[in-house]
Amino acid sequence: VGFHIRYVCGVLEAASMPYDYMTADQYRLRLREDEASLQHYLSTRLGVVCVAGAVVPGKYLRGTPISLKETQALIRNLPTETPAVFGGWAIRGWKKQGWSPLRPNLFLAIQDTDATLHHFFQKGEWRNRRRTAEQWTAWAQAGASSKAVTNHPDLGTVDR
């Protein structure tokens, strides 16, 4: 499980914010199986965080990162009143290449997605932020036991 999503989940855990966790592969599967159900699910969320891009480049046997085309479709399908932050290496790269989707309540985090989300929770406004050393420690520790780890479909358990 990538560290960026663990830090984001650490922010949510530290704020005692209820949340769901879904991998890009789980999103693709739900989209194929029942798009209407997925649309309803997204319409009931208070907000959306998407971390796009791989920490380590290369070919993946499992856990393929979300593509630009998939990201654009996800953004189009989100209700405009739902706040959304998209961050990660891919977002930085796509934005640098000129990608800038227009949508109300959408923020592209080009610094630390976790610190940007935390700032939004604290101040009610989107601003790119970098995490402090103290935040890094707190969110890494909280994220280590978050849903990104406990609910990840590809991580083994005692039984498997």
95 token code pair: 């934005």
Q: Tokens 């969320």, residue? A: 45
Helix (H, G, I), strand (E, B) or coil at 108: strand
- Res. 37: pLDDT tops 50: yes
The predicted model scores a pTM of 0.87
47 token code pair: 């907000």
Q: Report the pLDDT averaged over residues 53-61.
A: 65
Amino acid (one-letter) located at 56: V
Given CA atoms 25, 30, 32, 36 in this order, what sign does their dihedral have? negative
Which residues, listed in sequence order, are joined to residue 85 by a DSSP beta bridge?
49, 107
Per-residue pLDDT band at 115 (split at 50, 70, 90): very high
Judged on CB neighbours under 10 Å (0-12, 13-18, 19+), 44 is exposed
